[in-house]
Amino acid sequence: MGVLPGGRGNDLARVLGIPTEPEAAIEIVLAGHSRPIDIGEVNGKRFLGIASVGFDSDANRIANESRLRGNLVYAWAALRALATWKSARFTIAIGDAHTRVEGYSVIVANSKAYGGGMFVAPDAELDDGEFDVVTIGHVGKLRFLGNLPKVFKGTHVDEDEVSVFRTAALRAALTTADAATDEAMLVEAAGGKVLLHDPGAPNLKVTTPIDLRVAELLLAERDI
């Protein structure tokens, strides 16, 4: 499969080293450079980049509904989402082990980046057969906002409220929710949108829990 960047963020292409200029990207496809990459799967729906629940999903929804263009739309959407965000509680199950997180997000990363250059999982690899799972726990909104620029360099993972672990499969559930989410979990995925709803519905909502796993390998073009 050849990758021709055509979105706002183009993060999968960024991680694969594919230029955003159409002519240059087409030259890579025609040259036949290829590599295997993993595919993530959420309740049977597949994605290539990152699937997130919680604050990140809300911000991504706002960005997708906006008429703004360019990478700055994601930073603007994050500020909009932060203004109304209420701390959520998540349960993550890996086999028989359960972990509970209260805070902002559970981010299941097959790739390193989303949101137009935010390296939320800086050590994630597209072909290692595992997700990098990033959780962001509860902190005050001012501290969260102050740490937001660190995501563009991937240094946010050094903060105490951020945890990272690896697994090939997990189950995630939103154990508490405010009225705005209607006790459902909004799921957004970069690098292939995960549609877990009626295609006519305005939002991507799925009743929890959700199951995520690394599915299989896919050939993708890159400049090597």
pTM: 0.81
Locus of tokens 């102050």: 146
> In angstroms, rounded to a whole number, what is the distance separating the alpha carbons of residues 186 and 188?
7
**Count of C-beta atoms within a 10 Å radius of residue 117:** 15
pLDDT for the residue numbered 181: 40
pLDDT for the residue numbered 198: 33
pLDDT for the residue numbered 102: 93
pLDDT for the residue numbered 220: 47
Structural domains in the chain plus CATH codes = 38-215 (2.60.200.40)
CA distances from 166 to 121, 129, 135, 157, 160 (A): 11, 10, 11, 14, 18
pLDDT for the residue numbered 32: 76
All residues at 6 or more sequence positions from 45 whose CB lies less than 8 Å from its CB, including other chains: 194, 195, 196
pLDDT for the residue numbered 101: 92
Residues in the chain, how many? 224
Q: In the chain, where do the E strands start and end?
A: 34-42, 45-47, 50-54, 88-94, 97-109, 131-137, 162-167, 169-176, 185-190, 205-206, 210-221
Given a cut of 50, the residues of the chain with pLDDT beneath it are 177-185, 191-207, 220-224
The string of pLDDT tens digits covering residues 78-133 is 899 999 898 888 889 998 898 999 999 999 999 999 888 899 999 999 989 999 99
